[in-house]
Amino acid sequence: MIAEPYQRATRATSYDAIVVGSGIGGLATAALLARYGRKRVVVLERHYTLGGYTHVFHRPGYEWDVGVHYIGDVHPGSMLRSIFDHLTDGRLQWADMGLVYDRFVIGDEEFALPKGRENLRRALEARFPAERRAIEAYFDLVARVIRSTQLFFMEKAIPAPLAAVAGRLLRWPFLRLARRTTRDVLESLTGDQRLIGVLTGQWGDYGLPPGESSFAIHALVTNHYFDGAYYPIGGASRIAETIVPGIVAAGGQALVNAEVAEIVIENGRATGVRMAADGAIIRAPLVISDAGVANTLGRLLPEDARVRIGAMEALRTVRPSIAHLCLYVGLTGTAEQIGLPRANLWIYPSADHDATYTAMTNGAETLPFAYISFPSAKDPDFARRHPGRSTIDILTAVPYEPFAAWETRRWKKRGADYEAMKERLAGQLLDMLYAHVPQARGRVATAELSTPLTTRHFANYATGELYGLEHTPQRFEQRWLRPRTKIPGLFLTGQDVVTCGVAGALMGGVVSASNILGTNLLARLTAPPPPRAPEVLDATERPPDAISSAA
């Protein structure tokens, strides 16, 4: 067992560090403090399962990921793969999604994103031959952002006195493009709106259309997938399952059903947390929050501490990201039998993503787009765990406001009007599925819709936000979005420190742990990992090598 329920666990009276929240940023921070700082860390998760957006949920015969739909840049030899190998002792295995990882259906046209930077460049030039120069310039600008990224985030990890001296020089190369919107940058290269629509077809991966998103987040996300996409073998839950043992081996714990009511501040510094269930105080000289900036500064801090550090004024400089719907579909028959693809499917009504987004935020009845993911086709171990079954996730972006009327009602007890709305929305998403994946018709055994209120209930994001803070140009200007807060002993980690997604939140963990330990952990994490220790598997697991060979 990698996690224990808070009420039944035997806890220490104090720890070296407390991590609030078990998303990938929190788990990475805890694991790095345990491995490289020899610290005894307790991870406190309010949900009944670990992992944040990397967890899975089950229904009889099925399981679905809630946030891990594909991950890029984990091919052998990559920096991200090396970090995962260090954190998991190489136990987390990856399945390659193949030559095509995303397909865009934009109006009546389709475009496939092939694996490999040069393959993608050639595919774009073949479809848009008159735009060769613009396409070449686009790839150059993406590369310019990537080259400047490490310095920008390094500035968040170095000590404050050094950042005060060198910070501007470290930030400037990145901010030159981060301060511009994606549309502004792309329209400086081309007037072909179809090409811009294709280049920004993954905007749902960071939650803002080209007219509002920073070009930096666009470049980071698209570059992330240039070398293809992967899926964790054994499902998204393997991420937590392979990281937590390192925390426990160092004397730490991971506790679920462990909601934190307040961060304890004594003599101006963080000294622990007060638990919601019983009011008990757990003490540590380090408190690291993976609960999101808005939750940490706006809710978990005592009011006098919020006032003293100007927390609410800082929070007014950023906004929460968009909310979403997800229809979790279970089918009879395997992915192979049905013919489900591994590549994700993005369906848009037009190439004008800004118009689509504006209509959605203004309350249009039709859904703005659909993103269809096929996790059971991506995971070569799924058929062993759930024989004769397969799964599909269908997502779309929605504003939170239409759901706010039910926010005070309990989960599963929100009334007939709410259930009727869910049924209507689920029907729209199923119609999109059948229109573009007709072989799924007649195979659907179960379909369950999550709304922004579901995210609010389980992830504790006030407006059901999917990506923490919005990735606007203004967001990257905020120097206070860094691990070390104005309260001694209190640190931030996760996607709000760096960027969204599994990779962004993971790097948030690396940056936070580096800041806390006062060392450049990235240099250690990109070195070859030590030999893997022998693993004791429970009866439900296959040896990782056997799973890998099935990929």
Question: For residue 190, which amino acid is it?
Answer: T
Could you tell me if residue 270 is inside a domain? yes
One domain for residues 440 and 370: yes
Could you tell me if residue 207 is inside a domain? yes
For the four alpha carbons of 436, 437, 442 and 444, in that order, the dihedral sign comes to negative
Please list the pLDDT of the chain residue by residue as tens digits (551 residues).
589 999 999 988 789 999 999 999 999 999 999 999 999 999 999 999 999 999 999 999 999 999 999 999 999 999 999 999 999 999 999 999 999 999 999 999 999 999 999 999 999 999 999 999 999 999 999 999 999 999 999 999 888 888 888 888 999 999 999 999 999 999 999 999 999 999 999 999 999 999 999 999 999 999 999 999 999 999 999 999 999 999 999 999 999 999 999 999 999 999 999 999 999 999 999 999 999 999 999 999 999 999 999 999 999 999 999 999 999 999 999 999 999 999 999 999 999 999 999 988 887 667 878 999 999 999 999 999 999 999 999 999 999 999 999 999 988 889 999 999 999 999 999 999 999 999 999 999 999 999 999 999 988 899 999 999 999 999 999 999 999 999 999 999 999 999 999 999 999 999 999 999 999 999 999 887 666 544 433 333 332 322 222 22
One domain for residues 365 and 453: yes
Could you tell me if residue 414 is inside a domain? yes
Could you tell me if residue 421 is inside a domain? yes
| CA-closest candidate to residue 511, choices 258, 123, 158, 72 | 158
Could you tell me if residue 158 is inside a domain? no
SS3 state at 87? helix
Could you tell me if residue 107 is inside a domain? no
Helices (H), 437-490: 452-459, 473-477
One domain for residues 88 and 203: no
- Count: domains in the chain: 3
Measure the CA–CA gap between 8 and 21, rounded to whole angstroms.
19
One domain for residues 505 and 400: no
- Last residue of one domain, picked from the residues 197, 224, 251: 224
- Structural domain boundaries, residue 416: 323-459
| CA-closest candidate to residue 529, choices 123, 156, 90 | 90
One domain for residues 120 and 193: yes
What pLDDT is stored for residue 255 in this prediction? 98
Helices (H), 117-214: 117-127, 132-157, 160-178, 182-187, 193-199
The residues near 274 (Cβ < 8 Å, ≥ 6 apart) are 260, 261, 262, 263, 264, 280, 281
- Last residue of one domain, picked from the residues 400, 435, 459: 459
One domain for residues 440 and 338: yes
Question: For residue 378, which amino acid is it?
Answer: K
Per DSSP (E only), the strands in 173-259 are 229-232, 253-256
One domain for residues 349 and 434: yes
SS3 state at 521? helix
Could you tell me if residue 239 is inside a domain? yes
One domain for residues 523 and 441: no
- Last residue of one domain, picked from the residues 186, 202, 224: 224
- The β-bridge partners of 270 are 265
- The β-bridge partners of 232 are 94
Question: For residue 214, which amino acid is it?
Answer: S
Measure the CA–CA gap between 391 and 444, rounded to whole angstroms.
9
What pLDDT is stored for residue 15 in this prediction? 96
| CATH assignment at residue 34 | 3.50.50.60
Could you tell me if residue 518 is inside a domain? yes
One domain for residues 368 and 400: yes
One domain for residues 343 and 432: yes
Q: Are 396 and 368 in contact (CB under 8 A)?
A: yes
One domain for residues 175 and 85: no
One domain for residues 419 and 511: no
